Structure 1
Amino acid sequence: MGQIVTFGEIMLRLSTPEHSRILQTDIFEARYAGGEANVAVSLAMFGHQAHFVTRLPENEVGEAALQSVRRYGVSTDYILRGGDRLGIYFLESGASQRPSKVIYDRADSAVSQMESNMVDWDAIFDGKDWFHWTGITPALGEKPRKAVIAACKAAKNAGVTVSCDLNFRSKLWTEEEAQATMNPLMEYVDVCIANEEDAQKSLGFEAGDTDVEGAELDDEGYSTLARSLKKEYGFDTVAITLRESFSASMNGWSAMLHDDKDCKEPVRSTRYEIDIVDRVGGGDSFAAGLIHGLLTKDNTQDALEYAVASSCLKHSIPGDFNLTSEEEVEKLVKSGGSGRVER
């Protein structure tokens, strides 16, 4: 198994119970979550040595966040302590035609005030195989932006494979800010993970006539997008998630992958129809599954099938973390997933 580093923010997630609205609830369910933390937990569940880099306040809330990833086997050796607060996000879980909503309360969080020289990136990447980051981290401000650049440079110098999930967040920065930052960072990336919105808003590339909200996918548009991204930035691998949003409760879920290992054209995965329990973290579980697949599988198609099946299972689990084992994912890949009770 691999030695994998992720870098980003972990937050306190406060979600409404049983699809209630923020306006009506008197209680919130508390969990800890964040894109790169989610990936680290999933990879640890698959048997890899996952290392999470972040900065947490030195108080009980920070300690609880640290323990939330440590309990699933993530190494916390590179987590810094300091800063005034942990970021928070509020989640109102949608249902049917009412979408889920996220409200951020993360200004001046500990990681957003993290200087790049607080971390010895060269030491962190010594002996490691993979580095994963997302577009969320540089969106947090100038200091984490510089830290991402320093981390990417150190990873490349160490010969470490670098993956990036573009993860555009309109509540954190504008398209212009995202493209000005993300385009130069792509020179360090080997594996790019995106959906059609991320590619358009973070990098300025469009995916044909796809209408996600109308649940219509333009396969040729996605294939062209994958080829264009690979050609423009020289990525080894481009993975694009394909979500058909019939409603907040029902989605079609599949993905496309383009690399030079086994195919000259993008390959498409199995498609799953998902009755959603919790959609948040679905993209992160795909990223973790893809990293696992690329590290352990013999061919492109198998790596993609593992990633999509992993993410499919995550949609059935409350919270951001994908608490599934390698065995469970493999079983879904082979069986197609009847959902029958195991006795």
Structure 2
Amino acid sequence: MSKKVVTFGEIMMRLTPPENQRFIQTDEFNVIYGGGEANVAVSCANYGLDAYFVTKLPENPFGQAALNEVRRYGVKTDYIARGGKRLGKYFCESGASQRSSNVIYDRAHSAIAEANSDDFNWDEIFSEAEWYHVTGITPALSEKMSEVTIESVKKAQEYDVTVSCDLNFRSKLWSQEEAKRVMSEVMEYVDVCIANEEDAEMTFGIESGSDIESGDINIEGYKDVAQQLIDRFDVDMVGSHLRVSHNASVNDWVVVLYDGEEFVKSTEYRVHIVDRVGGGDSFAGALIYSQLSGKDLQETVEFGAAASALKQSIPGDFNHMTLEEVEAIAEGPASGRVKR
């Protein structure tokens, strides 16, 4: 499917202790490259879309390694700017059972955080594009990135490109007040909003009635969240994965989608987690593919739930499942039996 999809954001070096070790006990780290928007681009490329990832990377071996990593999975890197001093990184301690995962960022003054508007030729980038995906992470990196993100969604609208935005609130990057101020402006140009209960509440104060800490998820309450986002920002569609966390190793996983008239819910999966990072991004990539390929709402949530559940069985940020593998789960049993 040769439809052009553009994503924009930061790719980082992720450093994770092996075998679920804690930071204080490990003497080595596994290196993984990933980031929300890069993860979405890889999923889109896996499904046959013409996926472009836009960012800024330093002219050093780490920047080149990050560029090579997305390129090896078929993502196009034509619009990646080069320059700046450093590649952002973060440390991720993988949780297990009752022990939560923990993330420590080291991304201040990264190349993308200090990028300027003139690093990106949006007229060229959006030429012949059909879909543009951003998240609430990119504008949280710096005031410059807030400005560039807003500029990008305005330009996408000029080119009649469908814009999706995953709110992805990150309390370690900015405050609720900052998020509300910036994301309110971004959302004026968004067609499809992805927001779980926590993102909607932390960014815009919209509550679903779910108790995230206890795992009590109010699915019908999410419909009201989606309706409020539609009413406030005139978006066409709101969706999300909803995670019931029994512990760090076992989650129930379901996807919902609402277009102002029809509210649909996917099959619910019990997920035994290998790596939860990138699960939501896998849903975003699946949603983009589903909508561009003409799937209806129910087909979209089934494909999205299957893709994002499967991703959490794979180490790393990227979803390495093929279109055929996702469709096999979305359309049939998910027993996990050995294929012979």
TM range (shorter): over 0.9
- Superposed, 1:1-343 pairs within 5 Å as 1=1, 2-208=3-209, 210-259=210-259, 264-343=261-340
User: For the residues of structure 2 that align with 1:148 and 1:87, how far apart are their CA atoms?
Assistant: 18
* 2:263 partner amino acid: P
User: For the residues of structure 2 that align with 1:342 and 1:30, how far apart are their CA atoms?
Assistant: 30
> Does structure 2 retain, via aligned residues, the 8 Å contact 1:126–1:158?
yes
Q: Residues 235-272 of structure 1: CA distance to partner in whole angstroms, max 9, x if unpaired?
A: 11100221100000000000210115xxx231111110
Instruction: Measure how far apart 1:340 and its partner are.
Output: 0.6
Q: Residues 17-74 of structure 1: CA distance to partner in whole angstroms, max 9, x if unpaired?
A: 1110000000000010110000001110111110010000001111000000000000
User: For the residues of structure 1 that align with 2:90 and 2:124, how far apart are their CA atoms?
Assistant: 32
User: For the residues of structure 1 that align with 2:170 and 2:102, how far apart are their CA atoms?
Assistant: 13
* 2:110 partner amino acid: S
User: For the residues of structure 1 that align with 2:117 and 2:211, how far apart are their CA atoms?
Assistant: 40
* 2:180 partner amino acid: Q
User: For the residues of structure 2 that align with 1:108 and 1:298, how far apart are their CA atoms?
Assistant: 41
> Does structure 1 retain, via aligned residues, the 8 Å contact 2:206–2:225?
yes
User: For the residues of structure 2 that align with 1:302 and 1:50, how far apart are their CA atoms?
Assistant: 22
SS class of match (2:100): coil
Q: Residues 156-192 of structure 1: CA distance to partner in whole angstroms, max 9, x if unpaired?
A: 0000000000000000001111111111211100000
> Does structure 2 retain, via aligned residues, the 8 Å contact 1:297–1:303?
no
Q: Residues 187-241 of structure 1: CA distance to partner in whole angstroms, max 9, x if unpaired?
A: 1000000100100111221112x11232212122111111111121111110022
Instruction: Measure how far apart 1:279 and its partner are.
Output: 0.2
SS class of match (1:4): strand
Q: TM-score, normalised by structure 1?
A: 0.97
User: For the residues of structure 1 that align with 2:205 and 2:314, how far apart are their CA atoms?
Assistant: 33
> Does structure 1 retain, via aligned residues, the 8 Å contact 2:150–2:185?
no
Q: Residues 114-154 of structure 1: CA distance to partner in whole angstroms, max 9, x if unpaired?
A: 00122110111010000000000000001111111111111
User: For the residues of structure 1 that align with 2:295 and 2:283, how far apart are their CA atoms?
Assistant: 18
RMSD: 0.9
* 2:328 partner amino acid: K
User: For the residues of structure 1 that align with 2:177 and 2:171, how far apart are their CA atoms?
Assistant: 11
* 1:50 partner amino acid: A
**Unpaired runs of at least 5, structure 1:** none
User: For the residues of structure 2 that align with 1:9 and 1:170, how far apart are their CA atoms?
Assistant: 17
4+ long deviations beyond 3 Å: none
SS class of match (2:217): coil
Q: Which moved more, 1:107-116 or 1:225-234?
A: 225-234
SS class of match (1:129): strand
User: For the residues of structure 1 that align with 2:294 and 2:335, how far apart are their CA atoms?
Assistant: 24
> Does structure 1 retain, via aligned residues, the 8 Å contact 2:84–2:114?
yes
**Unpaired runs of at least 5, structure 2:** none
Q: How many residues align?
A: 339
